[in-house]
Amino acid sequence: MTTISTTDAKATGRRVIRMEAEALAEVERRIGDGVTVAVDLIAASKGRVIVSGVGKSGHIARKIAATLISTGTPASFLHPVEGLHGDLGMVGADDVALLLSKSGESAELLTLLEHLRRFGARTIALVGAPDSTLGRECDAILDAWVKEEA
């Protein structure tokens, strides 16, 4: 087991907090019209917010779905692979899908996107690469680019 000194722990903690603060300032600078479009899509929806992602983005998507539910917004997490293997029955034309991806090129999400659009669901990309395939193909883009992860 590695031992870390109190001084090192404090310095590391301060560095992480500083990185997070800088990342939030960058998010503020990069916020665009996609936020308005996304909010309007969700507010106008008569269905649920279907939240999806793969890997780490999938873990974050689960948390977002849980947070939406706790605030009174009907939401469900849909794993893209499970969706492609039978769980798409939960999706309807009144739903809005929030799709999370750092690269915006996840094959699983892009395939899921095709099906969501076929069902008539509106789509929002929360993506680290707004000019990616996912970003270009969704109805709204939320720019989640970060310089580096803390």
pLDDT in tens, 122-140: 999 999 999 999 999 999 9
61 and 114 together in one domain: yes
Q: Which pTM was predicted?
A: 0.89
Residues forming beta bridges with residue 143, ordered by sequence position = 127
pLDDT in tens, 73-97: 999 999 999 888 888 888 999 999 9
- Residue 46 in any domain: the answer is yes
What's the domain range around 71? 33-143
Question: Are 68 and 105 in a shared domain?
Answer: yes
79 and 116 together in one domain: yes
Which segments of 31-137 does DSSP mark as H helices, in order? 33-44, 56-70, 80-84, 107-119, 133-137
Instruction: Name the domain count of the chain.
Output: 2
